Amino acid sequence: MTSRGFRSTPIGMNLARFPRRRYTPGPTPLEPMARLSAHLGGSVELWIKRDDLLGLAGGGNKTRKLEFFVADALAQGADTLVTCGAPQSNHCRLTLAAAVAEGLKCRLVIEERVPGSYAADASGNNLLFNLMGIERVTVVPGGSDLGAAMAAEVADLAAGGRRGYAIAGGGSVPLGTLGYVACAEELLAQSFDQGVAFDHLMVASGSAGTHAGLVVGLESANAELPVTGINVRRPQAEQEGNVHKLAVATAAFAGVPAIRRDRITCLDRWVGPGYSLPTPGMIAAVRLLASTEGVLLDPVYTGKAMAGLIDLVREGYFATGSRVVFVHTGGSPALFAYRDVLAAQ
C-alpha cells in the first residue's frame, strides 16, 4: 500500500525513562470497520483503535494514563489513590481498579455536574465502585474546587498515618498524558506493520489528556496525521485552548518541541444540551456501531464522538478515498445506566 497520510520517521522521544506499570499485555487491536464504512456509502475507509480493550476492569483510555500515575504513587510510598470525576466516571472506575490490582485503597470525589445525577445505587460504573470495594465516595456540587476536595482527602489520610496520592480528573496532566503519547507511537508502529496509512484521526475530547497526548506523540514523530477532537462538554474555543495548553506542557515535560496552536482542532456541534446528557445522534451512533460492527460505545464520550464522525463522513468533511481511524476510548460499562434511552422502542 502507499505511504499516504504520514512519513515513516524515527520517534522523537524516549518514554522508557519514565517509570510505568503495565496493565495491558500488548497493543490494542487496530481494525477496519468495513460494514460501517459501507453503510455510510463507502467513500471513506473507517478504522478503529480498540482502546476499550485496555486492561483493568472494563478497559478504556484512563488505563494508559494510570500506568504512569500508579508507578509514581508506588515510588512515593502511597497506600491510597484519590481522584475525582463526574457520576459514572470511567476514570474513577479505572483508578479504583488499579488500586485493587496493586493492593491499595481508593477514595473518590464525585462532582455532580448535572444536579442530582449521582446515585450510589445506580447501575453502570457506580455499581462497579461498590463491587470493587471503594473506601469512600464524597459528592460535591458542580463547579466545586476538586483539587481542594482531593487535598482534603489526602490530609484526612495523613491524619490517620496513611499516605494518599491525588490524581487529577481524567488524569489530564503531563505525567498522565504520556499514556497517549505512547498510544500514538503504538498506532504508528501498527500502521507500519499492517501496511495501513491513515489520513485523519478522530477522538472524543473531554478532559484533554487523550487528545493532547495523541497530538504530541504524532507531532514528535513527524507523522503528518491530523487529529480532530469531538467535544463532549465545552465550546470549541475553550476546549481548543485547554488541549493546546496541555499539549504544550506535555511536550515540555517530555523534552520535545512545543505544539503549534493550529495543530489543535475541537468540534463542538455534538455536545448537545450538556455533558453526559443524551442526544438523538449519540443514541443512533451507539446503536449503529453495535449493530454493524459489534462494538459497544459509551453514552458520554465515544457515542457523541462517533455521532460526529458519522455526520462528518456524510457531509463530505473527508476527501473521497480517505482512511480515517477512530480511537475508541472505552466507557461501555456506563451503557447500563442509560438503558431507558438506549433500549429499542
The CA distance from 282 to 61, in Å, is 19
The residues, ordered by sequence, that sit 6+ positions from 307 with a Cβ below 8 Å of its Cβ are: 230, 270, 279, 281, 282, 284, 285
Q: What string of DSSP letters covers 76-108?
A: TT-SEEEEEE-TT-HHHHHHHHHHHHHT-EEEE
- The identity of residue 243, as a single letter, is V
H helices of the chain, in order, are 34-39, 62-75, 90-102, 125-131, 146-159, 174-194, 209-220, 236-254, 280-293, 302-315, 339-342
The CA distance from 189 to 192, in Å, is 5
CB 30 within 8 A of CB 187: yes
Nearest Cα to 244, choosing from 215, 218, 204, 203? 215
**Annotated catalytic residue within 3, 8, 89, 207:** 89
Torsion sign (Cα): 282, 285, 289, 290: positive
- Residue in this structure with the C-alpha cell 465545552, named with its chain if needed: 234
- Radius of gyration of the chain measured on its C-alpha atoms: 19
Nearest Cα to 109, choosing from 95, 124, 122, 123? 95
The CA distance from 88 to 117, in Å, is 9
The CA distance from 160 to 314, in Å, is 58
Phi-psi region of 113 (alpha: psi -120 to 50; beta: other; left: phi over 0): alpha
Say whether 191 is catalytic: no
DSSP state of 262: G
Q: β-pairing, 323-328 with 200-205?
A: parallel
Q: What positions carry a catalytic annotation?
A: 89
